[in-house]
Amino acid sequence: MASISKMAKGWRAQVKVLGVRDSRVFTTRREAVQWAALREGEIRHAATAPLGEQYTLRQALRRYADEVSPTKRGTRWEKIRLTAFEGYCLPLDLPIAQVTTQHIANFRDARGAVVGPASVLRELTLLSSVFQTAQLEWGWVQANPCRDIRKPPAPRHRERVIAWWEVRRMLRTMGYQRTGRVSSTGQAVALCMLLALRTGMRAGELCGLTWGRVFDQHVHLPQTKNGKPRDVPLSARARRVLARLRGWDDVLVLGLKTASLDALFRKYRARAGLDGFTFHDTRHTAATMLSRKVDVLTLCKIFGWSQTTQALTYYNPKASTLAAMLD
């Protein structure tokens, strides 16, 4: 029921409908009465309208960031991407139920003009996850508009294997020494690279490894990229690398954060006058080397792959190596 009252500076309209209160001051009584009637109708409509008409895409993105993203390992980066969506070509203030495949296609094309296909695919995957959650858990939409658009072609998998001459040049640039304990950050990065080449562990797995999870013949990774724990066997060379890292940090094996490792690796790569490979390419290199010693099932067990086809992504031998195996 609306209430209109005279004030010193005009007319105040107050409404209370279905437990919702609102008020506003106007110059004339007519304006106050019109606003009160309109506001009452809006409140009643909101109470009976479908949820998809009550909430916008912007609200969905923010709720997803608050409720769903914290349950994932890459919380920080996912929240950054979700915040960035609010600056892209998306109908943010449109009721989420009114977002169509055409809106998503426009977003895809606008982003494709700025970033590569891989980035567009990652963003579409995240946006699709927001709509999927809104459909299955919140009941805001009836369908996911991201599913019915043409996706950019998936980029080819990287096939870069780091040559041993490149490894040696990197080690020299980092100040690597064959014996003795670690005495500098550069030497820690060098041993980290060697450990990655001997075990195939990812940068995040190496940087998160604690001494309490290092055992005589293996290291235990309680959480990996696929969400499953994994035991990584250690060769004699890998054990020697770990032994040299003793004392560098009391808790962490490497004493480095993933972001720092990536930045340092790129810095030393530039100093060495090299280019074309990343730290993650040590995993490709390790898979290619270890494939000469173990069968494909054992290789999948070491690397934590649930499908044997994943080995084809990381096993990248040269044609000359394959030719030599035929002779």
Find the helix or strand (DSSP H, E) in which 22 lies. strand 20-26
Q: What angle do CA 53, 54, 58 make, to 5 degrees?
A: 95
Answer for the pair 232, 300: CB distance below 8 angstroms, yes or no. Answer: no
Is the pLDDT at 322 greater than 70, yes or no? no
Cα torsion 244, 246, 251, 257 to 10°: value is: -20
pLDDT bracket for residue 176 (50, 70, 90): very high
Cβ contacts of residue 71 below 8 Å, gap of 6+? none
pLDDT value at residue 87: 94
Is the pLDDT at 312 greater than 80, yes or no? no
pLDDT bracket for residue 317 (50, 70, 90): low
pLDDT value at residue 321: 66
pLDDT value at residue 43: 76
| pLDDT average, residue stretch 35-54 | 79
| pLDDT average, residue stretch 36-42 | 84
Is the pLDDT at 175 greater than 90, yes or no? yes
63, 105, 106 from 120: Cα distances, Å: 22, 11, 12
CA distance 96 to 90: 11
pLDDT bracket for residue 316 (50, 70, 90): low
CA distance 222 to 205: 10
pLDDT bracket for residue 173 (50, 70, 90): very high
CA distance 92 to 98: 11
Tokens of 183: 């005495």
Amino acid at 223: Q
Cβ contacts of residue 39 below 8 Å, gap of 6+? 13, 15, 22, 24
Answer for the pair 120, 112: CB distance below 8 angstroms, yes or no. Answer: yes
For residue 317, the 8-state DSSP code is: -
Whether the model clears a pTM of 0.85, i.e. scores above it, the answer is: no
pLDDT value at residue 325: 65
Is the pLDDT at 86 greater than 70, yes or no? yes
pLDDT bracket for residue 295 (50, 70, 90): confident
Least confident range of 208-212, 272-276, 304-308? 304-308
End-to-end CA gap in the chain:
92
pLDDT value at residue 323: 65
Task: Report percent pLDDT > 90 for the chain.
Answer: 57
All structural domains of the chain, each given as residue ranges with its CATH number in brackets, are 3-48 (no CATH), 57-148 (1.10.150), 164-326 (1.10.443.10)
pLDDT bracket for residue 326 (50, 70, 90): low
pLDDT tens by residue, 204-262: 999 999 999 999 999 999 988 877 899 999 999 999 999 999 999 999 999 999 889 99
pLDDT tens by residue, 119-133: 999 999 999 999 999
* 273-311 as b/e: b if 16+ CB within 10 A: ebeebbbebbbbbbbbbbbeeeeeeebbebbbbeeeeeb
Task: Report percent pLDDT > 70 for the chain.
Answer: 94
